Amino acid sequence: MPVPKGSTIDPVRTRAAILEAATPVLYERGLDGIGVAELCAHLGVSKETLYRHFGSKDGLVRAMLETRSERIARWLAEAIAAAGHDPADQLAAVFDVLQQWYDDPAFRGCAVLNAAAQHHDQTVRAITERHLDRYLELLTGIAVRAGAPDPHTLGRQWLMLVEGATAVAAHHDKVSAGEHAHRAALALLPATAGARG
Amino acid sequence: MPVPKGSTIDPVRTRAAILEAATPVLYERGLDGIGVAELCAHLGVSKETLYRHFGSKDGLVRAMLETRSERIARWLAEAIAAAGHDPADQLAAVFDVLQQWYDDPAFRGCAVLNAAAQHHDQTVRAITERHLDRYLELLTGIAVRAGAPDPHTLGRQWLMLVEGATAVAAHHDKVSAGEHAHRAALALLPATAGARG
DNA sequence: CAGAGATCGAACCGTTCGGTACGATCCGGG
DNA sequence: CCCGGATCGTACCGAACGGTTCGATCTCTG
């Protein structure tokens, strides 16, 4: 029973449960690939409840994308933090996490970028841009700690590798995509930096 | 007058004209972002004509994606051929073409990959995979001519940079995206190869 | 134990969708 | 000169869409 029936039992928990359950469904079916009625059936929630908590389908979508973006960034940041102090290890951790994601049978590419490809809504565009900002910040941080002379550019090139690997894994071939991207990212490090010692 | 009115004047020209006119509209509005009626109004064609030539909206979409994929590949191949014999120049030509594309105000990312993000139809997936195959073949060719020891892997890493640069340009910041990706691609060349001399 | 509030389920609304049908029009080939 | 076929414009279809409403139900709070 994902959502309790009674009253004041937990107004905020219902919202969170809806969000949690809607995320994978919207991801695998696509934002416009499922209607509100069928979606509610999957969630075990009535339409009225959904509309009271999110106002509209777009409201749910926006909340879902923001939550997902924040979660991904937190997930990556934790993987980086757990990798110790060596920037090379931190970089390896990033691409390890990515490859694990690619290996998930449900993997269908980046949910946020997929969403942006469908809704060219202004709000969704903003969420997408902020999502890539978060990625960029994490990667630039590694580049700084690695002593790269132009960490901003290196971070951006790493971002391209991350997104490129994700696209290739989603639409072409996921085997070793993370590993190949990782090796490419490493090759950029000594080329741009005078670092490593 | 995009489509002549009379009869046997040219059955194949009508189809081509529809395809040509539909491509930019579907690109900027999104595959599901415009209905058949409005689309036909933009094309200056009646629904009956469209359905006689393409059978369904999906039929039109498939034809459009295949045509677009082939055209992009041909365009890139010509740019490579025009760049002379030096693989480095050929690589530069690829990223030059990409940056020109990014600078187009109508640029909204790769039409084929955007389509795949919306329709997870089997046919669209196949078109997308073939599209990336074409890219990969062109890039691997450059890697071979550059004497890379593992040209297949290098081609794939370049493909990631190409798609990553496109995604970043579409969703984050298009300024210098092609140039940064180009520099990253160059850095991969001496790292993977023992070549250049 | 009574009331407030959250939820359900289902009916309902207007709109839009992809797709079809039809009569009128226009043209090139025999 | 006329017929066949491609086209147009429009009306139409059933289904699905996003969203609203309402009575019944349930549960926590006072």
Measured in angstroms, the CA of B16 and the nearest CA of chain A are apart by 26
Q: Do A181 and B167 touch (CB under 8 A)?
A: no
The beta-carbon neighbor of B171 closest among A129, A161, A162 is: A129
For A170, what's the count of Cα atoms within 13 Å in the CB-facing half-sphere? 28
Range of the domain at B108: 11-192
Q: Would you call A25 an interface residue with chain B, using a CB distance cutoff of 8 Å?
A: no
Confidence of residue A12 (pLDDT cuts 50, 70, 90): confident
How far, in Å, is the CA of B72 from the C1' of nucleotide D26? Answer: 60
Confidence of residue B194 (pLDDT cuts 50, 70, 90): very low
The answer to whether the CB of A60 falls within 8 A of the CB of A50 is yes
Q: Is residue A197 part of a domain?
A: no
- We report the CATH number of the domain holding residue A146 as 1.10.357.10
Distance of CA B16 to the CA centre of its chain: 18
- DSSP string of A155-195? HHHHHHHHHHHHHHHHHT--TTHHHHHHHHHHHHHHHH-S-
The answer to whether the CB of A132 falls within 8 A of the CB of B109 is no
| CA dist., res. A97 & res. A158, Å (int) | 15
Q: Is residue A20 part of a domain?
A: yes
Q: Is residue A3 part of a domain?
A: no
- Most A CBs within 10 A among B128, B137, B156, hence the mutation to make, goes to B156
Q: Is residue A31 part of a domain?
A: yes
The beta-carbon neighbor of A163 closest among B167, B187, B192 is: B167
Q: Please state the length of chain A.
A: 197
Q: Do B30 and A117 touch (CB under 8 A)?
A: yes
Q: What is the pTM for the complete model shown?
A: 0.92
Q: Is residue A47 part of a domain?
A: yes
The answer to whether the CB of A143 falls within 8 A of the CB of A158 is yes
One-letter amino acid of A95? F
The reply to whether the CB atom of residue A5 sits less than 7 A from any atom in nucleic acid chain D is yes
Q: Do A172 and B114 touch (CB under 8 A)?
A: no
* Domains held by chain B: number: 1
Q: Give the per-residue pLDDT at B110.
A: 97
Q: Would you call B168 an interface residue with chain A, using a CB distance cutoff of 8 Å?
A: yes
Q: Is residue B178 part of a domain?
A: yes
The reply to whether the CB atom of residue A41 sits less than 7 A from any atom in nucleic acid chain D is no
How far, in Å, is the CA of B44 from the C1' of nucleotide D8? Answer: 10
Q: Is residue B4 part of a domain?
A: no
Q: Would you call B25 an interface residue with chain A, using a CB distance cutoff of 8 Å?
A: no
| Residue corresponding to tokens 């509309």 | A51
Confidence of residue B14 (pLDDT cuts 50, 70, 90): confident
Q: Is residue B176 part of a domain?
A: yes
One-letter amino acid of A136? L
pLDDT(A100) > 90: yes
The beta-carbon neighbor of A171 closest among B109, B128, B170 is: B128
| CA dist., res. A156 & res. B144, Å (int) | 27
pLDDT tens profile A144-183: 999 999 999 999 999 999 999 999 999 999 999 999 999 9
| CA dist., res. A92 & res. B19, Å (int) | 45
Using alpha carbons only, give the angle A196, B185, B114 rounded to the nearest 5 degrees.
120
A108 neighbourhood in chain B, CB within 8 Å: 120
The reply to whether the CB atom of residue A152 sits less than 7 A from any atom in nucleic acid chain C is no
Residue B158 CA: distances (Å) to CA of A11, B140, B153, B163, B189: 50, 8, 9, 9, 10
Buried b (16+ CB within 10 A) or exposed e, A156-171: bbbbbbbbbbbbbbbb
| CA dist., res. B131 & res. B142, Å (int) | 18
Q: Pick out residues 16-35 of chain B having their CB under 7 A from any atom of nucleic acid strand C.
A: 32, 34-35
pLDDT(A2) > 80: no
